[in-house]
Chain A
Amino acid sequence: MTFRQKHLLGIEPLHPDEIRSILDLADKYADQNRLPVQNEKVLAGLTQVNMFFENSTRTLASFELAGKRLGATVMNMAMQASSIKKGETLVDTALTLNAMHPDLLVVRHPHSGAVNLLAEKVNCAVLNAGDGRHEHPTQALLDALTIRREKGRLHRLSVAICGDIAHSRVARSNIHLLGKMENRIRLIAPPTLIPAGAANWGVEVFDDMAEGLKGVDVVMMLRLQKERMDGAFIPSTREYYHRFGLDAAKLAHAKDDAIVMHPGPMNRGVEIDGTLADDIHRSVIQEQVEMGVAVRMAAMELLARNLQVDQPKGVMA
């Protein structure tokens, strides 16, 4: 098992073997999480702080549960409500927190690169729970685990990522991960939601769902992130749904056994048809949530192992 990282800031710095290591361990936890009694203690005695500078329900809950299932002491800090309002900078907040000696710091921030900046200033292991439009590594890992369990492999698959790619950190992390694992990636979106230069990323770009979905194994839908949009990128949500919303007719262009994924929260009737999202034969959206806890357990355990090798608790690096 290979995993040499001190932090999990993104998928980009990871080696394919490191990705496999996380997924293998997560696979074990996914099975274990289905058992009635949870008494894993690998993080016992360690402190996990969840620092969320941006609203989150599901990711925060998933990280909290993952830490607790492994026996860590978990603390949640809702940062929008606290010191930021009093004018404290991100780095000062980080240093303050660092002085309390956490072992694992889970951070979400609205600005790209903010988690990298924070990781430079603290001694503990930092997990990126989403920074701006940059990366959301645990989401890509849980998507990968879901695909691997559904399809039996994570290579030589054709994966379509559809929707608001411009504003999506999930898309970027998935593009890194699926590319590293040697899959074919197709991006499908209106041109205003395709980021500049995407054609040079080693992906195929489409602006037509029927064409883009032809023969794919996996369809990943993205949420239309209106809160990140500065002005209008599409004329209306109904036109968007008509042209880019996933419904049974559009899905018919994909392979017969293609699975449908969505990182949540969904806008039913905007990017995905409600009935399709609930179709247990095609949609793996609930499995994604389940794999999320397992992947986060695995990532934290691997980071904690490196932590103990590198630096005994309480000693400054």
Chain B
Amino acid sequence: MTHIFTNARLINPETQTDKLGWLRVSNGKITETGAGDAPESGIDCNGKCLAPGIVDIGVKVSEPGERHKESFRSAGLAAAAGGVTTMVTRPDTMPAIDTPEVLEFVTRRANEDAPVRVRPMSALTRERQGREMVEIGFMLDAGAAAFTDCDNVVADNRVLSRCMTYARSLGALVIGHPQDPGLSKGGAATSGGFASLRGLPSVSPMAERMGLDRDLALVEMTNVRYHADQITSARSLPPLARAKANGLDVTAGISIHHLTLNELDVGDFRTFFKVKPPLRSEDDRLAMVQAVADGTIDIISSMHTPQDEESKRLPFEEAASGAVALETLLPAALRLYHAGALTLPQLFRAMSLNPSQRLGLNTGSLTKGAPADLVLFDPDAPFVLDRFKLHSKSKNTPFDGARMQGKVLGTWVGGRSVFPVNT
């Protein structure tokens, strides 16, 4: 099976180019690309953008345990509609994904129901309790993409050092949530004038820097491959840059919310804006956008976290954290493009190429031989987001009613169209 995309604005994160051209796909792989007019007619992209599909690290699909919040079916449809071709799912389910048996269940459910690729991550410690490491070897054999206890920080340094040492021997990637557990306890907002006026329990961004410093020290000790799931404050950037300069195998991510929203968006206690870590100051946000541009921050992800209405319709400090974002990741990221802060190739380096490379996948580029995981989008098409039109079962998006620009026109996984559903 061969088809050709013509008259497309090819966004290539590897060459950092954004040029009109064509792209040929056969047997699920990209076989040829070229500039200018295509040699034959095919799918006319009308000059819209064709980019490698997004590889989203840290998607919460609430299976097993809370399928009413999100299933592989609903998350997969949301991903396809959002241009996400690989969901790297989180293990903070109920029960946690901490045995090969649970991992197999998840893999089977994903294969049955999700129209996009799914790469599940494993917990780092049993039940994410921070006491005993999971069977890292078995989990790798069963297909675990990485190891993380998500927002449960492994507080015991000895436990974490052993996990890292063991993971190092198998070449496994450990993902940390840099946060000092003592300092950040109970924090629902970033400390500062705004949180204090609202009377919310708050946490200093320094808790993130302390968590990162601790993790980096252990990385230096164990030489493990390490990724910080979310670096969201300016104070964390110097140690991160230093660790990279010193040759540690370290990368860092950030959620799209921390790049496009700030603490003031919480307004009068709007719980859809409660995420973990909490939204930061505008100064921090600007510093993080710059860090993505210069590559200090490697990866942008959705941190898709479905929550039902009940768990959000509570007083702010009691409400659950997290936001759904598979479908809003691209249009929100395009705000940074329209604002002139990042180019499209820079955005797709952070959303497709880097996450793919970090996990050792071969997707995320438009290079010959790569799987034809593609997203076609119109970066300019304006719309007003209606949360009830999202494919996710949970509708907890901070962008409800927001004016956005950028619509996904089509998504392909391995050359097969997964969005829109009927073409």
* A contact residues vs B (CB 8 Å cutoff): 12, 89-91, 109, 111-114, 116-117, 131-135, 166, 169, 172, 195-198, 200-201, 230
The residue on A at minimum CB distance from B196 is: A195
Docked CA distance A197–B195 (Å): 9
Say yes or no: is B310 at the interface (Cβ < 8 Å to chain A): yes
Pick from B194, B198, B314: contact of A90, CB below 8 A. Answer: B314
B316:A196 contact, CB within 8 angstroms: no
Say whether, besides A111-B318, A197-B191, A197-B194, A89 and B199 are in contact (CB < 8 Å).
no
Pick from B193, B204, B268, B315: contact of A198, CB below 8 A. Answer: B193
Say yes or no: is B269 at the interface (Cβ < 8 Å to chain A): yes
B310:A196 contact, CB within 8 angstroms: no
B197:A230 contact, CB within 8 angstroms: no
Given A90-B314, A113-B317, A133-B200, list of 12 further CB < 8 A pairs? A109-B315, A111-B315, A112-B315, A116-B268, A117-B313, A131-B199, A132-B317, A195-B196, A196-B193, A196-B196, A196-B202, A197-B196
Q: Which residues of B contact A132 (CB under 8 A)?
A: 199, 315, 317
Say whether, besides A116-B269, A169-B199, A200 and B315 are in contact (CB < 8 Å).
no
B269:A113 contact, CB within 8 angstroms: yes
A200:B193 contact, CB within 8 angstroms: yes
A112:B313 contact, CB within 8 angstroms: no
A197:B199 contact, CB within 8 angstroms: no
A113:B315 contact, CB within 8 angstroms: yes
A-B contacts, 11 listed (Cβ < 8 Å): A111-B317, A112-B199, A112-B317, A113-B198, A116-B268, A132-B315, A133-B200, A134-B198, A196-B195, A198-B196, A201-B193
Pick from B199, B315, B318: contact of A135, CB below 8 A. Answer: B199
Docked CA distance A113–B194 (Å): 13
A172:B202 contact, CB within 8 angstroms: no
Docked CA distance A165–B163 (Å): 43
The CB with the most chain A CB atoms within 10 A, among B313, B315, B318, is that of: B315
Say yes or no: is B192 at the interface (Cβ < 8 Å to chain A): yes
Closest CB-CB distance, A120 to chain B, in whole Å?
9
Closest CB-CB distance, B205 to chain A, in whole Å?
11
Q: Which residues of B contact A90 (CB under 8 A)?
A: 314-315
Closest CB-CB distance, B199 to chain A, in whole Å?
3
Docked CA distance A91–B186 (Å): 22
How many residues belonging to B are interface residues under a CB distance threshold of 8 Å?
Answer: 22
The residue on A at minimum CB distance from B311 is: A89
Pick from B193, B200, B313: contact of A113, CB below 8 A. Answer: B200
Docked CA distance A134–B266 (Å): 14
Q: Which residues of B contact A131 (CB under 8 A)?
A: 199
A196:B204 contact, CB within 8 angstroms: yes
The CB with the most chain B CB atoms within 10 A, among A111, A135, A172, A195, is that of: A111
Pick from B194, B204, B269, B310: contact of A117, CB below 8 A. Answer: B269
Docked CA distance A111–B315 (Å): 6
A197:B315 contact, CB within 8 angstroms: no
Closest CB-CB distance, A167 to chain B, in whole Å?
9
A113:B310 contact, CB within 8 angstroms: no
Docked CA distance A58–B314 (Å): 27
> Digit string of B163-203 for contact with A (CB within 8 Å is 1, else 0)?
00000000000000000000000100001111111111010
Say whether, besides A113-B268, A117-B315, A172 and B199 are in contact (CB < 8 Å).
yes
A89:B196 contact, CB within 8 angstroms: no
Pick from B191, B197, B198, B316: contact of A201, CB below 8 A. Answer: B197
Closest CB-CB distance, A168 to chain B, in whole Å?
9
Say whether, besides A197-B192, A197-B193, A200-B193, A112 and B200 are in contact (CB < 8 Å).
yes
Q: Which residues of A contact B192 (CB under 8 A)?
A: 196-197, 200
Docked CA distance A167–B198 (Å): 11
The residue on A at minimum CB distance from B269 is: A113
Q: Which residues of A contact B200 (CB under 8 A)?
A: 112-113, 133-134
Pick from B194, B268, B313: contact of A89, CB below 8 A. Answer: B313
Give the residues from 296 to 325 in chain B that come closer than 8 angstroms, CB to CB, to chain A. Answer: 310, 313-318
The residue on A at minimum CB distance from B193 is: A197
Query: What 8 A-B pairs are tightest by C-beta distance, nearest first?
Result: A197-B193, A113-B269, A133-B199, A134-B199, A195-B196, A111-B315, A112-B199, A196-B191
Q: Which residues of B contact A166 (CB under 8 A)?
A: 196
Q: Which residues of A contact B204 (CB under 8 A)?
A: 196
Q: Which residues of B contact A230 (CB under 8 A)?
A: 186
Docked CA distance A197–B205 (Å): 13
> Digit string of B96-122 for contact with A (CB within 8 Å is 1, else 0)?
000000000000000000000000000
Say whether, besides A89-B310, A116-B268, A116-B269, A111 and B316 are in contact (CB < 8 Å).
yes
Q: Which residues of B contact A198 (CB under 8 A)?
A: 193, 196
Docked CA distance A201–B269 (Å): 19
Closest CB-CB distance, A195 to chain B, in whole Å?
4
Docked CA distance A166–B199 (Å): 8
The residue on B at minimum CB distance from A197 is: B193
Docked CA distance A12–B267 (Å): 12
Docked CA distance A264–B316 (Å): 27
The residue on B at minimum CB distance from A167 is: B199
Docked CA distance A117–B59 (Å): 29
Docked CA distance A113–B201 (Å): 12
The residue on B at minimum CB distance from A201 is: B193
Q: Which residues of B contact A172 (CB under 8 A)?
A: 197, 199
Closest CB-CB distance, B202 to chain A, in whole Å?
6
The residue on A at minimum CB distance from B313 is: A91
Q: Which residues of B contact A113 (CB under 8 A)?
A: 198-200, 268-269, 315-317
Docked CA distance A116–B200 (Å): 13
The residue on A at minimum CB distance from B194 is: A197
Docked CA distance A133–B191 (Å): 14
Docked CA distance A156–B199 (Å): 27
Q: Which residues of B contact A134 (CB under 8 A)?
A: 198-200
Closest CB-CB distance, B165 to chain A, in whole Å?
34
Q: Which residues of A contact B199 (CB under 8 A)?
A: 112-113, 131-135, 169, 172
Q: Which residues of B contact A112 (CB under 8 A)?
A: 198-200, 269, 315-317
Docked CA distance A131–B197 (Å): 12
Docked CA distance A276–B268 (Å): 39
The CB with the most chain A CB atoms within 10 A, among B204, B268, B310, is that of: B268
Docked CA distance A196–B263 (Å): 14
The residue on A at minimum CB distance from B204 is: A196
Q: Which residues of B contact A201 (CB under 8 A)?
A: 193, 197
Closest CB-CB distance, B87 to chain A, in whole Å?
31
Q: Which residues of A contact B186 (CB under 8 A)?
A: 230
B315:A114 contact, CB within 8 angstroms: yes
Closest CB-CB distance, B246 to chain A, in whole Å?
32
